[in-house]
Structures are given as C-alpha cells and as structure tokens.
C-alpha cells in the first residue's frame, strides 16, 4: 500500500477517535477533538498532493479519499448539531449530506460510462473552507470550555450565535455551488430515457 493510501486510511482511523473524544466529557476533550480533526484534515491535504506528485493514484485512493472526507465533515457537523453552545441547527448538515449523495451518484454514473470525475476548483474550495470553519469552531470550543478563558458574554454569544453559524453557512453555500457545478458538468449522464 502506498503512502497516500496509508494517509487516507489514517484519516478513516482517526474519525471514530474524534467522535469518542468529542462526546467523552473528560478534561480538554474539545482540545483532543480539535487535534484529531486537524490531523485528519492534514492527511486530506497531503494524500492527494503526494499521489499526484509521485503518480501514485490508485482506484483504492479514488474510492476511499472522497468517502473519508465526507464522513469526516458530516461527523463534525452532526456533532455540532448536538453541542448546545453552537447554534447551527441540522439544516446545513442536511444540505451538505444531500450534495454529497448527489455527487457520489454522479460519480457512479460517470464510472459506469468510463469517466473519472475529478475534484474541481469549487469542490476543493468547498472542502478547504469547510475544514477551516470546523477547525475554527473546535478551537473556539476548546478555548471557551476546556480552558475557560474569561471572555465577555457578548463576545461568547457573538461567536456562538453569529460567527460560527455564518462560517458553516458559507461552507453550505460553497457546497451547493460546487454540487451545481458537478451537476451541470455531468448532466448529460442523467438521461430519463435510459
């Protein structure tokens, strides 16, 4: 197994640990979650670059890499719905999940036609922004609730109620735009007569 695939497997391996530490209310559990998510996000950035640079692209990587990304992001967003301090609600999670199902379906149709659907600039932008938004939210949770920094109630409310939801909604909009770009580009594969 090559290095990019090992990095992708590491990302998959980190996801359950991320979930456990986010729910397990031990001291500094948000910090541990932040470190685990950040490590997983770094593997996401590295595996594709290494695979392209060293020409180590495999079918295993094409399958597992996007799946690992989707599970990592959806896991974090699902956790945020459960965390009362962050007020994002379930709607971004539903929209982002729906887009991921749609793109996966398009990839299946494309593969059936011998076409490889590569990640476009909008997909990469969406992924990068979403990872940064989630890391910011986890960092904020760690600062406020693991380390109990004494910040004014107005600052805490502004970040919990405005900044983090706005970041997640920007990620959601980028997700919809990138999904629309994929759909437009591969619309010819969706034929109601077939």
Band of residue 193 on the pLDDT scale cut at 50, 70, 90: low
pLDDT in tens, 38-94: 999 999 888 888 888 888 888 778 788 888 989 999 999 999 998 888 878 899 999
How many domains does the chain divide into?
1
User: Does this model's pTM top 0.85?
Assistant: yes
- For residue 164, being part of any structural domain is answered with yes
pLDDT of residue 17: 96
Supply the CATH number for residue 20's domain: 1.20.120
Among 12, 3, 142, 103, CA closest to 64: 12
pLDDT of residue 194: 60
- For residue 124, being part of any structural domain is answered with yes
pLDDT of residue 66: 83
Evaluate whether 141 touches 86 at the Cβ level (below 8 Å): yes
Residue 131 has pLDDT above 90, yes or no: yes
- For residue 194, being part of any structural domain is answered with no
Q: For residues 126-134, give the mean pLDDT.
A: 93
Q: Is 39 left (phi over 0), alpha (psi -120 to 50) or beta?
A: alpha
Three-state DSSP at 30 gives: helix
pLDDT in tens, 16-26: 999 999 998 89
- For residue 77, being part of any structural domain is answered with yes
Q: How far apart are CA 168 and CA 148, in angstroms?
A: 24
Alpha carbon separation from 106 to 109, 117, 192 (Å, rounded):
5, 8, 14
- For residue 23, being part of any structural domain is answered with yes
Band of residue 37 on the pLDDT scale cut at 50, 70, 90: very high
pLDDT of residue 120: 78
**Structural domain boundaries enclosing 160:** 3-189
pLDDT in tens, 136-178: 999 999 988 888 776 666 787 788 888 999 999 999 999 999 9
Among 92, 95, 70, 69, CA closest to 80: 92
Q: For residues 101-126, give the mean pLDDT.
A: 80
pLDDT of residue 108: 80
Residue 192 has pLDDT above 70, yes or no: no
- For residue 111, being part of any structural domain is answered with yes
């Amino acid at each position: 197994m090559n290095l990019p695939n090992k990095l992708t497997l590491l990302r998959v391996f980190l996801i359950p640990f991320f979930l456990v530490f986010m729910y397990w209310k031990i001291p500094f559990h948000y910090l541990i979650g932040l470190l685990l998510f950040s490590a997983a996000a770094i593997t996401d950035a590295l595996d594709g670059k290494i695979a392209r640079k060293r020409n180590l692209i495999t079918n295993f990587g094409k399958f597992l890499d996007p799946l690992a990304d989707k599970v990592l992001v959806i896991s974090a967003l699902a956790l945020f719905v459960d965390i009362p301090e962050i007020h994002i609600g379930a709607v971004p999670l539903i929209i982002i999940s729906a887009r991921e199902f749609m793109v996966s379906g398009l990839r299946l149709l494309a593969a059936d036609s011998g076409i490889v659907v590569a990640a476009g600039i909008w997909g990469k932008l969406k992924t990068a922004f979403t990872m940064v938004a989630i890391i910011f939210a986890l960092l904020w949770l760690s600062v406020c609730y693991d380390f109990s920094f004494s910040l004014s109630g107005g600052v805490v409310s502004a970040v919990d109620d405005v900044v983090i939801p706005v970041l997640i909604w920007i990620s959601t909009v980028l997700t919809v735009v990138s999904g629309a770009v994929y759909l437009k580009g591969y619309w010819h594969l969706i034929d109601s007569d077939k």
